[in-house]
């Protein structure tokens, strides 16, 4: 027997998002603040910060993270940006999030695919922000179904994926599938591309503009599922 039920909770909140798919954080701050405007969440792709060295950041030679924090304070927005991080010679794909002038944290890609100079980093995390609870997925973690599942179970209002570059349609397919199967809105920001899906997996917005804006109702959806437990049934943890 297979039972399926849908339960939707509308929190009555509309989240406004702005995606910057090509420009850097500094250029937007200096030249395009008017075009970006004020939104609940401002998302940059990996072009936003480029490579960030923790050694130089801690030594005061660079201030990438500090600039991101200042931008969040000036816009009164949550600001999220993809970046490559160099931890004393260990390279990772990462995403940094700031809110109200403070850095809330840095999330790393948790899976390492094939051979690469970039290695897997820390665990998944949902950030409690002024715009709501935001879960971050970094790069190819989007291809692993457990990534949005973990963040949804941690009560994320929305899950945002920072992706390098769109090579095919697979990232959007996984974005839509993750939103539908976990009942949480999901967004993606990559080089020259951004997309937003609702809890049904419908594409609310997608395209290749430099600055793209969208809004979405914050809803929660969950599925009650039971499987046949008599006859030819085996617990998936028991192996095959």
Sequence-ordered list of residues with C-beta below 8 angstroms from that of 7, at least 6 positions apart, any chain:
221, 222, 223, 224
Give domain status of residue 234, yes or no: no
pLDDT at residue 211, as a whole number: 93
Is it the case that residue 163 has pLDDT exceeding 60? yes
Distance in angstroms (rounded) separating the CA atoms of residues 162 and 81: 7
Is it the case that residue 157 has pLDDT exceeding 70? yes
Give domain status of residue 236, yes or no: no
Distance in angstroms (rounded) separating the CA atoms of residues 53 and 67: 14
Is it the case that residue 21 has pLDDT exceeding 50? yes
Give domain status of residue 237, yes or no: no
94 DSSP assignment: E
Give domain status of residue 39, yes or no: yes
Give domain status of residue 89, yes or no: yes
Count of structural domains within the chain: 1
Is it the case that residue 93 has pLDDT exceeding 80? yes
Q: Return the C-alpha torsion angle 220, 202, 95, 133, nearest 10.
A: -20
What percent of the chain has pLDDT above 90? 67
Give domain status of residue 240, yes or no: no
Q: pTM above the 0.75 mark?
A: yes
Give domain status of residue 151, yes or no: yes
Give domain status of residue 235, yes or no: no
Region 200-217: mean pLDDT is 92
Domain carrying residue 92:
3-229
Give exposure, 118-151, as e/b (b: 16+ Cβ within 10 Å): beebeebbbbebebbbbbbbbbbbbebeebbebb
Which residue in the block uniquely carries the two structure tokens 């890609």? 109
Distance in angstroms (rounded) separating the CA atoms of residues 64 and 165: 22
Looking up residue 197, the CATH number of its domain turns out to be: 3.60.110.10
């Amino acid at each position: 027997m297979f039972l399926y039920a849908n339960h939707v909770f509308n929190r009555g909140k509309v989240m406004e998002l702005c995606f910057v798919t090509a420009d850097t954080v500094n250029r937007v701050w200096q030249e395009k603040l008017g075009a970006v405007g004020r939104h609940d969440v401002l998302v940059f792709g990996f072009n936003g910060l480029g490579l960030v060295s923790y050694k130089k950041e801690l030594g005061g030679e660079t201030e990438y993270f500090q600039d991101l924090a200042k931008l969040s304070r000036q816009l009164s927005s949550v600001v999220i940006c993809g970046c490559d991080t160099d931890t004393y010679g260990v390279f990772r794909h990462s995403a940094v999030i700031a809110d109200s002038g403070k850095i809330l944290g840095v999330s790393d890609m948790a899976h390492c695919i094939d051979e690469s100079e970039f290695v897997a980093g820390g665990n998944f995390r949902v950030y409690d922000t002024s715009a709501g609870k935001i879960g971050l997925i970094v790069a190819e973690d989007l291809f692993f179904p457990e990534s949005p599942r973990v963040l949804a179970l941690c009560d994320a209002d929305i899950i945002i994926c920072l992706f390098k570059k769109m090579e095919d349609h697979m990232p959007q397919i996984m974005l839509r599938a993750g939103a539908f199967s976990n009942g949480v809105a999901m967004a993606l920001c990559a080089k020259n591309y951004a997309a937003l899906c609702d809890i049904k997996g419908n594409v609310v917005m997608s395209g290749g503009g430099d600055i793209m804006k969208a809004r979405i109702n914050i809803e929660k959806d969950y599925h009650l599922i039971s499987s046949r437990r008599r006859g030819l049934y085996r617990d998936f943890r028991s192996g095959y």
